Chains A and B, each alone.
Chain A
Amino acid sequence: MTLTSEIIKVGIADVKTTVYPNTLKTSGLGSCVGLVLYDNKAKIAGLAHIMLPDSTVAKKDNQNRMKYADTAFEILLHNLLTSGASKANLKAKMAGGARMFGFKSDNKMLRIGERNIEAIRVLLQHHHIPLISEDVGGNKGRTIVFDIDTSMLEIRTVNSGTKQI
């Protein structure tokens, strides 16, 4: 039997989970971070495209919860566990958190990439989920594709080619 595999596209401020043989993809990560959590025994994985580090600073509460690290993480974890992943088997990979614009300003938003990465590290530690590999920082945009079968994360860039982590 041949399994047809599908590419599940994850938008900006979006969370999706899927199972083998599908792959997960999100495009154009700049300061945003793509976080993959996967259970390679159950062959289930989820990807969150995270824009901002912290939902608690938002002034309004009718926001898309998938855009903040803390709430997106919660949703991702919940969706994985309810689809049959085991928390003890979960591992993480992440990419993104770049700083596209080099200039100085009064603006803490220009450090948004670093703050996203830091927020995710804290969440992973808190949940005892090991971070297997990462490709973060720098000043380049990234498109990432996660292959559930091999647990490899492919990272495509405009100027520095493609690699797998």
Chain B
Amino acid sequence: MTNLSELNQTHLDVLQEIGNIGAGNAATALSTLLNKKIDMSIPAIKILDFNQLMEYVGGPDTLIVTVFLRIQGEAPGTMFFVLSPDETSSLVQQLINDTSFTYEELLDTPLAFSAISEIGNILSGSYLSALSDFTSINMQPTVPTLVMDMAAAILMEGLAQISEDNDFAIVIDTMIEDTEKSTQTIKGHFFLLPDPESFTKIFKALGVYDR
């Protein structure tokens, strides 16, 4: 697939299924970790140019906490696990049992930093291993990096590879959310952005061919 604008409904369905399987597995992992019920949203498939992508995450200078990794192997791509600052606070509170924690302390609290990194690692790992099993495509994640900064600053660097030859990206966005009634809700977004040349491989692996 050289032209991403040629995606038809079948292609979109396949991408949606990828989001379903990956995030489903990640939701199970988080549920086990927190011993809570975790739900996931129906994946949204968006074809966005870079400025639209920034609006989609709330504007270019919105503060976000992100675990970033590159997928290497046969179908390279980029993955972000994105939390808002408040969601980060409540997730860390639950992980390290410290209800006074706020995200401002994230960079100065090694335990919290490491806890969030590890969560990102586990969740993206379970997302990718499900995806890899489903497609029989070998996917190896790089070591995830945790960054808290402006959305555009983080996302655009992660997208540098894709942007060399493209002015837009296909985003497979899935949200996982803890649904137990409490004040500490956690929502996390997975953004999976396959490199353009990976789409052909993914579609072929799943039996969807271009005409």
Which residues of A are interface residues toward B (Cβ below 8 A)?
11-14, 27-32, 51-52, 57-60, 63-64, 67, 98-103, 105-107, 109-110, 112-113, 140-143, 156, 158-159
Contacts and interface: CB of A to CB of B under 8 A. Distances in A.
Measured as residues with beta carbon below 8 angstroms from the partner, the interface class of chain B is 20 to 34
Given A28-B60, A52-B160, A102 B145 contact: yes
B98 to A, nearest CB: 21
A26 to B, nearest CB: 8
A100 B164 contact: no
B163 A51 contact: yes
Contacts of A140: 149, 153
Contacts of B59: 27
A63 B149 contact: no
B208 interface: no
| 10 closest residue pairs by CB, A with B | A28-B152, A141-B153, A30-B153, A28-B60, A141-B150, A27-B60, A28-B150, A141-B149, A31-B157, A27-B61
Contacts of A28: 54, 60-61, 150-153, 156
A112 B59 CA distance: 22
B160 A31 contact: yes
Give the dominant DSSP class at B's interface. mixed
Contacts of B161: 107, 109
A99 to B, nearest CB: 8
A63 B164 CA distance: 9
B149 A30 contact: yes
A67 B60 contact: no
A63 B165 contact: yes
Given A11-B50, A28-B150, A107-B70, 4 more contacts: A27-B59, A27-B152, A52-B160, A101-B157
Contacts of B152: 12, 27-30, 32, 141
A111 to B, nearest CB: 10
Given A28-B60, A101-B68, A158-B148, A60 B165 contact: yes
A139 to B, nearest CB: 8
Given A12-B152, A28-B60, A51 B165 contact: no
Interface string B40-64: 0000000000110010000111010
A80 to B, nearest CB: 23
A140 B70 CA distance: 20
A60 B5 CA distance: 15
24 contacts: A12-B156, A13-B163, A27-B61, A27-B152, A28-B61, A28-B151, A29-B152, A29-B153, A30-B152, A51-B156, A59-B164, A64-B167, A101-B145, A103-B142, A103-B145, A105-B142, A106-B72, A109-B164, A112-B157, A113-B157, A141-B154, A158-B149, A159-B107, A159-B149
Contacts of B147: 100-101
A60 B59 CA distance: 29
